[in-house]
Structure 1
Amino acid sequence: MNLPLLRRRFANLSITSYRKVKVLDFPVFLERMGDLLKEGYTFPHSIQMLLPFHIKQYEDLQRKVSEVLQDGGGATQVLNLLGLEKQYLVSIELSEMTGQLAETVQIVSQQLTFQQEMKLKLVKVLSYPVLLFVFLMGLFLAFRTYFLPNISTMVTSRAQNEVSTSVQWSSFLLHMPDYIIGLVVITFSIVMTFIYYIKRKRVDLQLTLLFKIPLLGHFWKLLLTRHFSRVLGNLLLAGFSLQQALGHLKNQEHQIQIAYVAQLLQEKVILGDSLADAVQIDGFFYPKFEHFIAHGEASGMLGRELILYCELLDKRLQVTIRFLMTIIQPLLFMIIAACVIAAYLSILIPMYDVLDFI
């Protein structure tokens, strides 16, 4: 059975099963699988050994995995069935071709571990500010319910002409959390609409739009270059020619942006351009990528140079994410401080008006 037909056959199965199956500690699952594969176990035996320890009520899933393997599926189809994200399936699929499945699943395990660590850190960073903001919301609601009507009545009884200014300012400040929540909802809606809009576009338009956005375009180039250099480097190290490697990347169906970029590069390489010139012309990649490729082509170690560049980008990506995590909490506390100041001003402004009339 050919690979595209096999992908289509198990597409619906993987989607429906993903909602029902939850692999407990996926990074550990993949790390143990890599260890078993390195010790000489086959992939079916590794899956059979690990599923009972990482999935509750694994019997039904075990039968589905057996069906996939019996019909000619491999690690890519099985891990897709278990819910592994598509960005990692490209590396898994190509590693089956190169015979580096054990090393690749452990690399994916490390990436998932870092991803989980950042998620836990984000929850930890957000938990205290969010609880504090919820408390402030209750406090502002109480002020609007009890304080504002009383102070409005008091000021109104003193001077009708000045009520509007002080009371309106107080009312505006006491609705500060509402404005913040509204801004967050609007921003989230815009982001989700943009994501939906991008997904409906052709791949070339997707990349064009993403690269035009400040900061996001730079970050997206980093991710695209990091992923492309890893999968291409692994194929070259496994003995594939550059044309064959680009052909495999072009034909894979898990990452359409990688496939599109590989197709463009293959067309240029066929016409006689070097890979270093091709990546520079397209402009889809992170700065200085062409220098690493040129050095690798000159030394005959292009595959190793690509893997080295990917490792450098991995470190840069991790540093960037950690930096963003460190500035999230101070920004949230600044927002909370603005709400506290607004609460004080909402009380002081009307009180000063009352003192003027005494």
Structure 2
Amino acid sequence: MKNKRKWSLKDQALLLKRLSDLLEKGYTLNEALNFISVNEKGRQKDDLLNCVSNLAEGYSLRYGLTNLYFHRDVLSYLYFAEQHGNMEFALKESSIMLYKKIAHYDKLTKILRYPIFLIFTVAVILIFIQSVITPQFNHLYTSMNIEVSIFSMILSQSFLYLRWSMLIAAIFLLLFLIYYFIRFRKYTAERKMRLIVKIPILKTYVKMMLSYYLSLQISILLRGGMSIYDCLKIFTTQSIIPFFQEEANTFIHQLKAGQKFNDIIYEREFYEDELSQVILHGQANGQLARELYMYSQFVIEKIDTSINKIITYIQPTVYLFVGIIVLFVYLSMLMPMYKMIDSI
């Protein structure tokens, strides 16, 4: 029976790091899990002991962590580790990957926490002004025969457009959710990815991630003495990431048709163009495993830099938006009062 209690990403990353460190020091996987469980309490201790029991029964570490609902990327790393035998490397790489995800999430949360609070507060004030204060000013203008200024009309129209924009955005979000749950989820993994890579904001990031994952896993399998064909056959036997399972089947079919692997990669729209060049260069100098691994590390660094850059742009953009809204709210309160004073 699967454990319904999920470990947090921080706990997952910490466990993977501890396991890789202990394996590096010469511990067996069973000994490492037992050692870590001694220092744990409650649920996590029981979970680790269950993993030890699973190992004793002949199951893999991946089986135990699957029951604990570990991150899908971690499970895929461990699946390939079962094929090439370098469990220490897989645990280390997956822990690094999780720590980077956690760092990006924490940084984004920290940056957006206060601006989101400001946006919510300003939205409440804006609703109050539009529903209570503005109608009273309009009624007062009418009773005193005061002509509404052009600037006040602009402010009123701006608030109206903003309200309609928010409504339209909510409708689009609702339509997107309906489309996602009714149709998108039923598509094949390849069709889903074809739609995703057409989205300008996501295209570059997704292509880098796919290129990173493919190059890293193939490089490790090649180091184990496998051929490209053998590597792809292993991809077809995993179902953790269905997209790469479908991709591997496509690659094998095209290889049998006589196409070169680098040409196949170049023709696919899911990967960076540099990946095909790295494959060509690696095959030419007989160092494909090394070239692919170095390329994967270059790509993951580029992804990390890109995400950090985007995050640094988000905060000033949000603050600018909030500042403009606050200015409009402030002017919408003051302008009618000045108009009344001038008319007296």
TM-score, normalised with respect to structure 2 = 0.87
1:1-358 alignment, distance < 5 Å: 13-14=1-2, 17-22=3-8, 25-51=11-37, 53=39, 56-58=42-44, 60-62=46-48, 64-144=50-130, 147-159=133-145, 162=147, 182=167, 185-186=170-171, 188-189=173-174, 192-193=177-178, 195-196=180-181, 197-351=183-337, 353-355=339-341, 357-358=343-344
Question: How far off its partner does 1:286 sit?
Answer: 0.9
SS of corresponding position for 1:89: helix
TM-score, normalised with respect to structure 1 = 0.84
Equivalent residues of 2:7, 2:70 under 8 A apart: no
Letter in 2 for 1:324: I
Q: Distance in 1 between matches of 2:164 and 2:120?
A: 14
Letter in 2 for 1:297: Q
Q: Distance in 2 between matches of 1:52 and 1:176?
A: 61
User: Which deviates the most, 238-247 or 66-75?
Assistant: 66-75
With over 3 angstroms needed to count, the CA separation of the structure-2 counterparts of 1:193 and 1:329, relative to structure 1, is: farther
User: Which deviates the most, 279-288 or 92-101?
Assistant: 279-288
SS of corresponding position for 2:200: coil
Q: Distance in 1 between matches of 2:72 and 2:133?
A: 54
With over 3 angstroms needed to count, the CA separation of the structure-2 counterparts of 1:23 and 1:284, relative to structure 1, is: closer
With over 3 angstroms needed to count, the CA separation of the structure-2 counterparts of 1:186 and 1:51, relative to structure 1, is: farther
Question: How far off its partner does 1:303 sit?
Answer: 1.2
Equivalent residues of 2:76, 2:240 under 8 A apart: yes
Q: Distance in 1 between matches of 2:179 and 2:304?
A: 26
Counting aligned pairs with the same residue, the percent is 23
Equivalent residues of 2:9, 2:98 under 8 A apart: no
Q: Deviations over 1:253-311 (max 9, x none)?
A: 10111111111111222233221122123333112211100011111111111111111
Q: Deviations over 1:27-55 (max 9, x none)?
A: 22211110111222222222232245456
Q: What value does the CA root-mean-square deviation take over the aligned residues?
A: 2.9
Equivalent residues of 1:173, 1:345 under 8 A apart: no
Equivalent residues of 1:226, 1:310 under 8 A apart: yes
Unaligned runs of 5+ in 2: none
Question: How far off its partner does 1:230 sit?
Answer: 0.7
SS of corresponding position for 1:290: helix
Unaligned runs of 5+ in 1: 1-12
Count of residue pairs brought into register by the alignment: 343
Q: Distance in 2 between matches of 1:103 and 1:213?
A: 34
Letter in 1 for 2:104: M
Q: Distance in 2 between matches of 1:335 and 1:275?
A: 48
Q: Distance in 2 between matches of 1:240 and 1:39?
A: 27
With over 3 angstroms needed to count, the CA separation of the structure-2 counterparts of 1:330 and 1:176, relative to structure 1, is: farther
Equivalent residues of 1:277, 1:290 under 8 A apart: yes
Q: Deviations over 1:296-347 (max 9, x none)?
A: 1111111111111111110110111011101110111121012112213322
Equivalent residues of 1:76, 1:92 under 8 A apart: yes
